[in-house]
Amino acid sequence: MAVKLRSMRDVVEWRLCAGCGACFAACDRDAVRLVNGVDEGIRPVFDPVCDSCSTCLGICPGVRVDAFAAVGVDAPKEPELGPVLEIWEGYAADPEIRHQGSSGGVLSALAWFSLEHEKMEFALHSGKDPKCPWANRTFQSRTRAEVLARAGSRYAPASPCDGLDAIRKSAGPCVFIGKPCDAAAAIALRKQEAALDRNLGLVLTFFCAGTPSTQGTLAELEHLGVRASEVKSLRYRGQGWPGRFLACFGADGQERSSPYSECWGRLAKFTPLRCRLCPHGLGQIADISCGDAWESYRSDREGEGLSLVLVRTERGREILHRALAGGALALRQVRADAVRAAQGNLLQRQRELFGRLAALRAAGIPTTTYVNFGLRASWAGISLSRKAKSILGTWRRAFVRQWWRRNASNRGRGES
């Protein structure tokens, strides 16, 4: 029988923490601080009082995630894609926003449109830490220049929920942009807090295959022969599609880079267990989720980005349509098959997850509970040989990597 999660410390030590920072935002005792461990990612460290408190468990995406948390179970849905009202493909009409963005710049364009025309106070999202080029910080962007400066993927730990208090205290509605787990936590917390519910004007997320730890970036720099201590600036993607991992270093501003297709393959090896056991990669819990339209990408050349846009709530649809009418976006409607064709890797992970989670639970290892993701139905659709390989591979990794043991190594440790 799997261990029951009784506190947030259990979530962290059983490797189920997503590093979103929501427990930090929710704690009214100042008993939580966040640290960025090189090998693990951003994780909370708790005062002893937390061992007898279970308040945060109700909002933690490491404990439970409901695909219909933002819309209700009667909302229109697509098999494996979750709640969907409309599906679009396209890009930011502003060429500079499109170029800076990781795919088509749609999220950045929506953020800027919401600030400029929806009268939202600021966009809360992650961006490059000016003191450490490969680390992230949570920012409040209020101008087009600030949105642009923080556009593009950041394949390093980020915890934008740690800034939710600023949205609580805002004079008006705000935009929130984060990973799918971040968006799920923010929406769970808004259900408990009237001020947050009132001021979360638009929740945006992006397709996500996992967040590599800091060690992934350091390993990529080493692969390029760049000393981390000499790095002046670093981009993971953007400035064209699909973009490159680009490090600027040294006193004379030398540059070295690697193609996205090669870089991501190396970075992905450093994604934590929680990311590898997630069916939420398409951002089911948000007003709008966006990601790369890989089916339309030609690997023989760099180009300008193209995004798939999944509209999940009425709030999201209203703002998207106003952004279209206002000329902020250039989009065309597409069918669900376009998403399935473009995001086959994420969907394959989702199809195998029911068996993998069952295998871990059978070994007594606690797992996140996923509700309304259709995991059993997805699992039924894969071959018997694939099922066997998935279960046996999960058991092998659990034994070799000792997932059956708590990991208490991050207690009180971290970079920052």
Taking the C-alpha atoms of residue 257 and residue 334, their distance in angstroms, rounded to an integer, is 34
> Beta-strand (E) ranges in 156-235?
174-178, 200-206, 231-235
pLDDT tens-digit profile of 349-407?
999 999 999 999 999 999 999 999 999 999 999 999 999 999 999 999 999 999 999 98
- In the block, tokens 């920052």 appear at 416
pLDDT in tens, 31-70: 899 999 999 999 999 888 777 777 889 999 999 999 999 9
Element (H, E) at 214: helix 214-223
Q: What is the pLDDT of residue 90?
A: 95
> How much is the average pLDDT of 285-310?
82
Residue 413: predicted pLDDT: 42
Can you tell me the distance from the alpha carbon of 154 to that of 375, in angstroms, rounded to the nearest whole number? 29
> Is the pLDDT at 301 greater than 70, yes or no?
no
Percent of residues, the chain, with pLDDT higher than 90: 83
In tens, the pLDDT along 263-274 reads: 999 999 999 999
Q: Which residues fall within 8 angstroms of residue 319, CB to CB, at 6 or more apart?
A: 110, 113, 114, 118, 202, 287, 288
User: In this prediction, what percent of the chain has a pLDDT beyond 70?
Assistant: 96
Residue 42's DSSP bridge partners are: 36
SS3 state of residue 260: helix
Q: How many residues does the chain have?
A: 416
Which residues on adjacent β-strands are paired with residue 247? 234, 256
User: Quick one: pLDDT at residue 126?
Assistant: 97
- The answer to whether the beta carbons of residues 51 and 36 sit under 8 Å apart is no
Distance CA 68, CA 284 (A): 8
Phi, psi of 74 (to 5 degrees): -85, 0
- Cα–Cα distance between 128 and 137 in angstroms, integer? 6
Round the average pLDDT of the chain to a whole number and report it: 92
Query: What pLDDT is attached to residue 297?
Result: 57
What is the pLDDT at residue 415? 43
- pTM value is 0.94
Q: Please tell me the predicted confidence (pLDDT) of residue 303.
A: 78
* 296 has pLDDT over 70: no
Average pLDDT over residues 126-146: 95
**Cβ(19)–Cβ(41) below 8 Å:** yes
Task: Tell me the three state secondary structure of residue 401.
Answer: coil
